[in-house]
Amino acid sequence: MNAARLARDLRRALAAVAEPGRAAAMRAYMKSAMPFLGVSAAPLRRACRDAFAGVDFPTAAAFRRTALSLWRGARYREERYCAIELTGRRAFGPFQDMAALPMYEEMVVTGAWWDYVDAIASHRLGTLLRLFPSEMREGMLAWSRSDDLWKRRSAILCQLTFKKDTDLGLLYAVIEPALSSKEFFLRKAIGWALRQHAWTDPKEVRRYVREHESELSPLSKREALKNIG
């Protein structure tokens, strides 16, 4: 698939469902330097489905090149959402390997905001962690100690969908370097990750919060215990 042609098809599909009157408010809400077209989530997914129908790649490398081309060439924020959507299409599941991690790392670092990062962390990094637990565990431990805020947040959030399969050792290990941080997005991520696991094991989350009472921020504790009291 020619990346330039795919970008043109995608832009046409997005333009067809855009509501320009919503664009300014969406941009203000997301505090985005990049403009919006005014496409909400459901129409965006439909536009992606239409634009990506029949798209195939001969190799994993071609898949990654195209996804990064869409990401780097984006003129509107929705185009980057579509690049993330492309990476998650079921047809390209066989291309989810450790060679994809640098692609996601670039998206996390250059995206540098929660709307991109949270989707990549919970769905793309989470997928890699399930498939390659040993390699990804090492990678997420390294990310948790990175100078980059968004890599650290990603490491904390990468198990959001894991439920009973959560590797608690990994979760606590990636939280630990952020316990002393005053960064809102890290404090929020800690609370969110713990709250999510509380649906599966509230007793364990209570224990962790109690044991780290003096280290966790009020925000992290409040978020962690929100659904369990």
For residue range 42-92, list pLDDT tens digits in order.
Answer: 999 999 999 998 899 999 999 999 999 999 999 999 999 999 999 999 999
CB of 137 within 8 A of CB of 174? no
Tell me if 102 sits within 8 A of 94, measured CB to CB.
Answer: no
Q: Which two tokens stand for residue 223?
A: 């978020």
Long-range contacts of 220-223 (CB under 8 A, 24+ apart): 220/187, 220/188, 220/190, 220/191, 220/194, 221/191, 222/191, 223/188, 223/190, 223/191, 223/192, 223/194, 223/195
Residue 1 has pLDDT above 70, yes or no: no
> What residue type is 170 in one-letter code?
L
pLDDT number for residue 31: 96
